[in-house]
Amino acid sequence: MKDRHGTPFCDGGLLRETAEKSIRWLEALPFRRVGPWASAEELRKSLGGSLNEEGMNPSEVLSFFSQEAEPGLTGSPGPRYFGFVMGGALPASLAADWLSSAWDQNAVLAVSSPAASAAEDIVSEWVLDLLGLPPESSVGFVTGCQMANFTCLAAARHEVLRRSGWDVEKDGLQGAPRVTVIAGEEAHATLLVALRMLGLGTGNVISVPVDGQGRMVPEKAEEALKTASGPVILCLQAGNVNTGSFDPCAEIIPAAREKGAWVHVDGAFGLWGRVLPSLDHHTRGIELADSWATDAHKWLNVPYDSGIAIVRNGAAHRASMALNAPYYIAGEGEVRDPSQWVPESSRRARAFPLYCGLKSLGRKGVLEMVEQNCRQARLMASLLSDDPMVTILNDVVLNQVLVRFSCPGSDSDAFTRMVTAAVQEEGTCWAGGSVWKGMAAMRISVSNWATSDDDITRSADAIRSVLGKAAKR
Ligand SMILES: *Cc1c(COP(=O)(O)O)cnc(C)c1O
């Protein structure tokens, strides 16, 4: 079995060369400039042109592609990338991801890959246990938290309408009882996308005011619940993208349940805060919700694409996603068909990297990883705030630090944006810009297993040195 260039079915040479390329990239990552060198436009030029008429030898293709693409790569898996909330890849989960590609399993049905089915079942149990969520919950492995929000909210839509005597899977939303959706003012943009894709719209979401840290105000949530009638979905958040704060679930959820509302928690990265007893004060009550969306490719340091949708009511979850019969309810002891819990049909066996990543960490390792990043976020905040030109805008309760720079005689918004751009340009570390309560800020997210305290110190020094130079301009 050979391709048109005479390349065998398994080209060991090509795969080994590619492994070497990957290793070189990862080994250089801690030392290279964190930002990219080339823009997307430049890459379109160097990689583009019309598709060659004749094929090219795979090894030449890979050499060309890796060499030309590299200037346009960001050091986001590296230890000093603090942009957005990214995370890197644990060695075991990265290696398992390679293996998943080589194995090329279709995790659609148990019969198409018993290993994928089993891995999903096992990882489900581990994740529910780690996060302290109801063990009877069903779990779907999706591409990211946006799709986890979508999956959970599809189950919510099914259930609240079913209780009103409406079959949304069969009859759609036209003519359905009106669903009231309540969310915090600080709900993540992807939650709104999920609502939009579900036909619930974003214009009618009742927006609940938040406090200075972005947490929903419990009294305001109760007011919103009181005025709502008919089917209600309440969306809470664990881990605000700017501040890392948690909506007060323990205070809000009991009132929502009394109302018969479905409570969903978007916990893309913050849900992992559940593993730390020291965060109980913030994460209490999250387990009372009906569904939870989280990511594995952020704080759990599994490669993309990896999100997790968790639903307490397995029947509602199944009914909203089922590939065949929407009213089919999973029987006792039934073998897991992975596609019954997600919006996709054919799909990657994305539980393999999760399985191997979690097993390599162990329970203790997950805890230590989360704890380390939280401690490093506090360290970063304290090193930066030694500078009188720095204000830390948030209570650093998790892994997020919001920084504002000011300099006598300059506008602080413009100055903060200028310093953020200069930090990115300097290249020791990378942090993104954000806006908090109308103020420009730089957001530092510590989410990588490989970040050391020395990386934090070096980055804080670099930021302060950039700041010092900016102030002199
Ligand atoms: C990142 C994030 C999401 C979206 O996750 P993706 O993996 O990018 O789809 C949703 N909610 C919150 C709070 C997030 O931080």
Q: Mind listing the pLDDT tens digit of every residue in the chain (473 residues)?
A: 777 778 889 999 999 999 999 999 999 999 999 999 999 999 999 999 999 999 999 999 999 999 999 999 999 999 999 999 999 999 999 999 999 999 999 999 999 999 999 999 999 999 999 999 999 999 999 999 999 999 999 999 999 999 999 999 999 999 999 999 999 999 999 999 999 999 999 999 999 999 999 999 999 999 999 999 999 999 999 999 999 999 999 999 999 999 999 999 999 999 999 999 999 999 999 999 999 999 999 999 999 999 999 999 999 999 999 987 444 345 555 799 999 999 999 999 999 999 999 999 999 999 999 999 999 999 999 999 999 999 999 999 999 999 999 999 999 999 999 999 999 999 999 999 999 999 999 999 999 999 999 999 999 999 999 999 999 98
Q: Is residue 397 part of a domain?
A: no
State both tokens at 115.
């290993």
Interatomic CA distance for residues 235 and 183, integer angstroms: 5
CA of 85 to the centre of ligand 1 (A): 8
Closest CA relative to residue 296, chosen from 252, 356, 382:
356
**Residues 373/447, Cβ–Cβ less than 8 Å:** yes
Interatomic CA distance for residues 348 and 359, integer angstroms: 20
Q: Name the residue of 240, 241, 294 whose CB sits within 8 Å of the most ligand 1 atoms, as the mutation to test its pocket.
A: 241
Return the residue whose CA atom lies nearest to atom 1 of ligand 1. Answer: 268
Q: Name the residue of 145, 153, 235, 245 whose CB sits within 8 Å of the most ligand 1 atoms, as the mutation to test its pocket.
A: 145
Q: Is residue 250 part of a domain?
A: yes
Residue 328 has what pLDDT?
39
Closest CA relative to residue 79, chosen from 448, 411, 466, 369:
448
Residue 327 has what pLDDT?
40
What 3-state DSSP class applies to 339?
Answer: helix
State both tokens at 146.
């946006």
Q: Is residue 84 part of a domain?
A: no
**Residue 431 identity:** A
Interatomic CA distance for residues 207 and 220, integer angstroms: 10
Starting at the edge strand found earlier in the chain, the sheet holding 138-142 runs: 138-142, 307-311, 291-295, 262-266, 232-237, 180-184, 206-208
CA of 146 to the centre of ligand 1 (A): 6
pLDDT tens per residue across span 291-310: 999 999 999 999 999 999 99
Beta-bridge mates of residue 291: 264, 311
Please tell me the pTM assigned to this model.
0.96
Interatomic CA distance for residues 199 and 194, integer angstroms: 9
Interatomic CA distance for residues 20 and 15, integer angstroms: 9
CA of 145 to the centre of ligand 1 (A): 5
Question: For the domain that residue 164 is a member of, what is the CATH number?
Answer: 3.40.640.10
Interatomic CA distance for residues 107 and 354, integer angstroms: 14
Residue 4 has what pLDDT?
74
CA of 294 to the centre of ligand 1 (A): 8
Q: Is residue 445 part of a domain?
A: no
- Residue 261's domain comprises 106-347
Q: Is residue 214 part of a domain?
A: yes
Let me know if 333 is exposed, middle or buried by CB neighbors in 10 A (0-12, 13-18, 19+).
exposed
Let me know if 255 is exposed, middle or buried by CB neighbors in 10 A (0-12, 13-18, 19+).
middle
Q: Give CA 393 to chain center in angstroms.
A: 23
**Residues 105/63, Cβ–Cβ less than 8 Å:** no
Let me know if 388 is exposed, middle or buried by CB neighbors in 10 A (0-12, 13-18, 19+).
exposed
Pocket of ligand 1 (CB under 6 A): 85, 144-146, 188, 190, 239, 241, 266, 268-269, 295, 307
Residue 326 has what pLDDT?
46
Q: What ligand 1 atom has the least distance to the C-alpha of 270?
A: 13
Residue 348 has what pLDDT?
96
DSSP string, 190-247: HHHHHHHHTT--STTPEEEPB-TTSPBPHHHHHHHHHH--SSEEEEEEBS-TTT--B-
CA of 304 to the centre of ligand 1 (A): 12
Domain count, the chain: 1
The reply to whether omega before 305 is within 30° of 0 (cis) is yes
Q: Is residue 78 part of a domain?
A: no
Q: Is residue 111 part of a domain?
A: yes
State both tokens at 131.
């996060």
Q: Is residue 305 part of a domain?
A: yes
